[in-house]
Chain A
Amino acid sequence: MTRWQHVGILAAIVFYGVMVGCQNDSGKDGPIEPEPKPVEFKATPYNWKKPANFDDPKYDFTKNPLTVEGVALGKTLFYDGILSRDGSVTCAFCHQSFSGFAHNDHALSHGIGDKIGTRNVPGIENVAWKTAFFWDGGIADLDLLPISPIQNPVEMGDSLANVLKKIRTSGQYPALFKAAFGTEDVTTERFLKALSQFMLTMVSANSRYDKYSRKETGAALTDQEARGLALFKQNCSGCHTGEQFTDQSYRNNGLRMQLANSKDFDLGRYQITLNLNDYNKFRVPSLRNVERTSPYMHDGRFQTLEQVLDHYINDVQDTPQLDPLLKKNGKTGVALTAADKSDVITFLRTLTDNDFITDRRFQPD
């Protein structure tokens, strides 16, 4: 071996040591100090931090204080097929880390017994800032969300009551509930709050855009990305607002409507409010990790960001419900040149947060 090879190996060992040493395992490898007399129950507070470029969260943490044990329980549940009728479908079955916790393989959600749902799987990220969930906003409280996929006959196909029963009689869970909540009781509240706790830790705030937004040292956008950002602010941020890239409103973005007799016919927000003004409106989705969360739209009709932009440039349909921002001066759609389109897409790719997507804390143990 040459001298340089020795140096290289040494450097690799040192680097490995630093990597291992710096991992933020938050006590995952076992308690360092075993408590001799656990007189009073006390879970370990989880250090949840708001990213500097984000607003204050909307979730009320006082009603569900995050603990290391609670988050760990939530994660175990998230990755456990016990939540589905036949054990085959976990939360992660649809919400896959490498897709920004969305799903790439199916335009419409694919569930138990190969059943196909009616809508595209949304990603999970920054749920603490969301005021409603699902494409139609039918759920306004994160703690109530998991009941829906568990009981949906084409998703997990079970009932909440039966899932709780299975968890109560399982080997591992009573101890995990005790660690998180003080007793082995498996209640609706604890089950749902544990899932919330885990999902609340799934904060995506480390994309190149975020670092640029926080003016971190060395963070910069390329010229093309910066041009894309400027175009985005001018043409897209009316709906995809702020650091979450959504104003959380419900809008009709001029998609070609499915035929009324089509199985994909979907009235969106109207199904919740029964208000004709909400006909065919859907929640404005966040664009975080958008490069990873294809396909796009509530029904997953577009495979690529190019197709999405082409829709906004060329194919916005004029209906009474069309969002006014997509019809200016009598013209529908967004005026962007081919070069502009490419710039915007280049910018959108800066919203990919690889730290989030590969974060070990969000992966199964």
Chain B
Amino acid sequence: MKNALPASVMSLFLFLTVLAACHNDPLEPEYGTVQLKFANVVGAQDLKLDSTSYTNGSGEPFTVTKLNYFISNIKLKKADGSAYVVPQDSSYFLVSQSNPASQLITLRNVPVDDYTGIDFVVGVDSLRNTMEIGKRTGALDPGGAAAGMYWDWNSGYIFLKLEGTSAKAPADATGKHNFMYHIGLFGGYKKESKTINNLRTIQLAFGTGPAHVIVNGTTGVQIKANVLKIFDGVKRLSIAAHPDIMVSDSSEIVANNYAKMFSVGTVQVD
């Protein structure tokens, strides 16, 4: 009988341990939602289309009439180096300044965890860019959402489109001073016919602390996109010298620049 008490205490403890372990079943992870909120800004100001005049690094006044870009291949990274990768087929989004709903990217079924950063591609990766038409639905449909973001004569998506006006842009045939940057090119279909590759992967850390994804909760992550960086993120471009950049070598400069335009704003459980 001497040993009976400790044995029953032990068995009770074991029972409780097993119960607790079963309750917190690691084989059934729980999920939350992450909302990426893209905020297009010009320096410290919110971007407003058409009306507001801004000044770029070259001291040139400009207005923005259009800003669209593709965000794809999203990964949420954890401190241990692992990541939650958004399923490929559901990882293509077109952010348009003219469409506020498009600036909110909702990622559902994100495993509950603490995430320390995010990776994404600006544009449409080469694999998807050469996939058959049946795999180009939703944001990638050239007869739907992607209209205007697709080059039909040189098959491929436009990754980022910035259009506007500037007194420094030369007058076109109708007397308007427009500038336009249409940046695409994914590297080409074949090795022997390579093109420039303007795909850029953006890697951002949540500097203020991890983003907690909680069961059935929504975690908001604000990502700022600073238009000024498109002109001078790495190398300064002036509108006067480069009013139009599309399929040309200069497109690489713009891609390198806009790769620096993104930063993390607020991160919080809403």
Which residues of A pack against B, CB within 8 Å?
A: 60, 63-64, 132, 134, 137-141, 143-144, 147-148, 150-152, 159-161, 163-164, 187-189, 191-193, 271-275
Contact = CB atoms under 8 A, between A and B. Distances in A.
B154 A138 contact: yes
B153 A274 contact: no
Contact of B155 (A138, A150, A275): A138
Contacts of A192: 133
B132 A274 contact: no
Contact of B247 (A150, A189, A271): A271
Given A188-B136, A274-B195, A140 B189 contact: yes
Given A144-B133, A152-B153, A191 B193 contact: no
A64 B135 CA distance: 13
A144 B133 CA distance: 7
Interface in B100-153: 130, 132-134, 136-137, 141-144, 147, 150, 152-153
Contacts of A188: 133, 136, 141-144
Contact of A160 (B132, B143, B154): B143
A123 to B, nearest CB: 19
Nearest to B150: A147
Contacts of B248: 274
Main secondary structure of the interface of B (DSSP, over half): loop
B90 to A, nearest CB: 18
Contacts of B188: 273
Nearest to A186: B143
CB-based closest 6 A-B pairs: A188-B143, A160-B143, A147-B152, A148-B152, A138-B154, A140-B189
Interface residues of B, number: 26
B132 A134 contact: no
Contact of A274 (B143, B147, B196): B196
Contact of B195 (A64, A143, A150, A273): A273
Contact of B132 (A63, A151, A191): A63
Nearest to A164: B143
A138 to B, nearest CB: 4
A252 to B, nearest CB: 15
B141 A138 contact: no
Contact of B154 (A60, A64, A189, A272): A272
A198 B195 CA distance: 31
A191 B144 CA distance: 13
22 contacts: A134-B153, A139-B152, A139-B153, A140-B130, A140-B190, A143-B133, A144-B155, A147-B143, A148-B152, A159-B147, A160-B143, A160-B147, A160-B152, A161-B144, A164-B144, A187-B137, A188-B136, A188-B144, A271-B247, A272-B195, A274-B247, A275-B195
A189 B134 contact: yes
Given A273-B194, A273-B195, 9 more contacts: A138-B155, A139-B155, A141-B133, A143-B132, A147-B152, A159-B147, A188-B133, A273-B193, A274-B196
A274 B188 CA distance: 11
Contacts of B190: 140
A314 to B, nearest CB: 32
B172 interface: no
